[in-house]
Structure 1
Amino acid sequence: MDWTILAGLTAGLLISLVTAPVGVSGAVFLLPVQFSVLNVPSPSVTPTNLLFNVVAGPGALWRYRCDGALRGGLARRLITWTLPGVITGAAIRVFALPGPDVFRMLVAALLLPLGTWLCLRTLRPAQQRPDAAEPSAPALAALALTVGVVGGIYGIGGGSLLGPILAARGLPMARIAPATLATTFTTSVAGAAAYAVLATASSGPVEPDWLLGVACGLGGLLGGYLGARLQPRLPETALRLLLGSLAAGLGALYTVQTLY
């Protein structure tokens, strides 16, 4: 077996095992692995990431569905607005924004302070709001559309951005995780299809690395199922600290990569 396939399978499993309990597919953490370790070219890295989400997503979603955690309208509202955004983002990625530098700066500027603040807030029990309401319909639509565009450009699905933002509003992780994973899966299917169409109009490396994407996804399929099964057994405080730490850690990583 090619070492890159084994590395992709292992990376997908470990990343999804950690991120699925907090509603993140793990694609945003797989992105630097593809760039730095697996040497996937840009912009092919984006549809490869989307392919990972498509293959890995059903593992965690099936577990959350069995637990009844997918009930409610939050996922439906997020999906409605992220879908047009991800298609728009795919077109921007192929024709206008092939490099990763802008993405790294944007992610660092958003997730580093947000993740740090979420961790600090979680450590103050009086600030937790398990009965908090989700954002208003216009605010949720604007948020989902923006995240959809960013996800379409960089192949991250959007859960890594939606999760910390909704958690910062005080929504419990039991509501956030299933909704953001469902959104990530749906938008990734649409994004992967958009890239397949756009590949016919571009001479660059736009198609995904199919073998590597599937290998990472199969690892994520197992890791996501196990992570989702673990989620109900973890306390809310631990989940929020995990999400905040992941967000801040990713922001710090991209800050370093941007500077150096």
Structure 2
Amino acid sequence: MRLGGSVEWELGAAGLVVGMLIAVVTAPVGVSGAVFLLPVQLSVFAVPNPAVTPTNLLYNIVAGPGALLRYRRDGALRGPLVRLLVLGTLPGVVVGAVVRVFVLPGPHVFRLLVAALMLPLGLWLVFRTVRPGVPREGRRTPPPRTITGLALAVGMVGGIYGIGGGSILGPVLVGRGIPVAKVAPAALASTFATSLVGASTFALLSLSRTGSIAPDWFLGLSCGLGGLVGGYLGARLQPRLPETLLRLLLGALATSLGALYAMETVAALGGR
């Protein structure tokens, strides 16, 4: 259904603000704001399923270049980790997009998947912040084949969820002993590349299938532009804010959103 011009522009302005606010919070810790944008799309903007996923990928495409340009200027995108992650996540996100359209189009299953991903991510962030553990300088870095295989699996999940995969890969790789300074730029590069491929896949699938599986271009671009500005502001604020506060805030937000969608899914299934 086509919205009126004034209503569409109001939604665009709201998307700009939401994208900016989310990115201000997430950018300082190197996590894609798309993780938290998806529930807002479902609950606030009422983006139809499964169009929320490619719209989320579109957000990553528009919001991501600011951080990547900064990392590129610092030379942080030249390491082998970037190539390994992109090599695995690119085919994974295509498979995930196909699964999202043909296997998991229903809102109940999709919201349960959101809850299953958000809850562990939030709890992990809180736990690792409160109890960071003992440093393991001697821990081995996973072999390249393991990293690429993990990236393939995460890329599939990212294609279904619409987060590009880097937001999941980052915590996993840091937990395996790879320094954050190496993981952050590689994960963001992977998120950007897979978002490009994932959004293009959804757009192609929309040509041969009825229903709303193409991105909401106007809303995705509006949120992405807000994320571009918010990411820049978040990067500027990062040195001035305690890292512990930011990590706890992200963990609490992810946990609460995951719990909310889990309860909504259970309630919806129980009301049948």
TM-score range, shorter chain: 0.7 to 0.9
Q: Which of 222, 236, 259 is the aligned partner of 1:252?
A: 259
Alpha carbon RMSD of aligned pairs, Å?
Answer: 2.6
Aligned partner of 1:42 in structure 2 is: 49
Change (3 A) 1:125 1:57: closer
Mean alpha-carbon deviation: is it higher for 104-113 or for 137-146? 104-113
1:237-248 equivalence runs, <5 A:
237=244, 240-241=247-248, 244-248=251-255
The superposition leaves residues 2-27 of structure 1 with CA deviations (integer Å, 9 ceiling, x where unpaired) of 22111100111111111122222211
Q: Where does residue 14 of structure 1 map in the other structure?
A: 21
The reply on whether 1:207 has 2:207 as its aligned counterpart is no
Alignment map for 1:88-127 (pairs within 5 Å): 88-124=95-131, 126-127=133-134
Tell me if structure 1 keeps the 8 A contact 2:121–2:254: yes
Give 1:216's aligned amino acid: C
In the alignment, structure 1 segments of 5+ residues that lack a partner are: none
Query: After the TM superposition, which of the residue ranges 125-134 and 101-110 deviates more from structure 2?
Result: 125-134
Provide the secondary structure at the position in 2 that maps to 1:98: coil
Bigger radius of gyration among the two: 2
Equivalent position of 1:83 in the other structure:
90
Rounded to whole Å, the distance in 1 between the matches of 2:154 and 2:251 is 18
- 1:24 maps to which residue? 31
Asked whether the equivalents of residues 206 and 214 of structure 2 are also in contact (C-alpha less than 8 Å), the reply is yes
Say which is worse superposed, 58-67 or 198-207, in terms of deviation.
58-67
Name the % identity: 64
Instruction: Tell me, yes or no, if the aligned pair for 2:26 and 2:33 is still in contact at 8 Å.
Output: yes
Count of residues in correspondence between the two structures: 260
Distance in structure 2 (CA, Å) of the matches to 1:150 and 1:245: 22
CA deviation after TM superposition for structure 1 residue 198, in Å: 1.0
Q: Is the 8 A contact 1:63 1:228 kept in 2?
A: no
Q: Structure 1 residues 31-40 or 243-252, which shifts more?
A: 243-252
Query: Does structure 1 conserve the Cα–Cα contact (< 8 Å) formed by 2:59 and 2:220?
Result: yes
SS in structure 2 at match of 1:201: coil
The alpha-carbon distance between structure 1 residues 205 and 114, as it changes in their structure 2 partners (threshold 3 A), is closer
Say if 2:32 and 2:60, in contact at 8 Å, map to a contact too. yes
Which residue in 2 is equivalent to 1:219? Answer: 226
Q: Could you tell me how far apart the structure 1 residues matched to 2:77 and 2:70 are?
A: 10
The aligned residue for residue 69 of structure 2 is 62
- Contact kept, 8 Å, 1:41 with 1:205, in 2: the verdict is yes
> Which ranges in structure 2 are unaligned for 5 or more consecutive residues?
1-5, 268-272
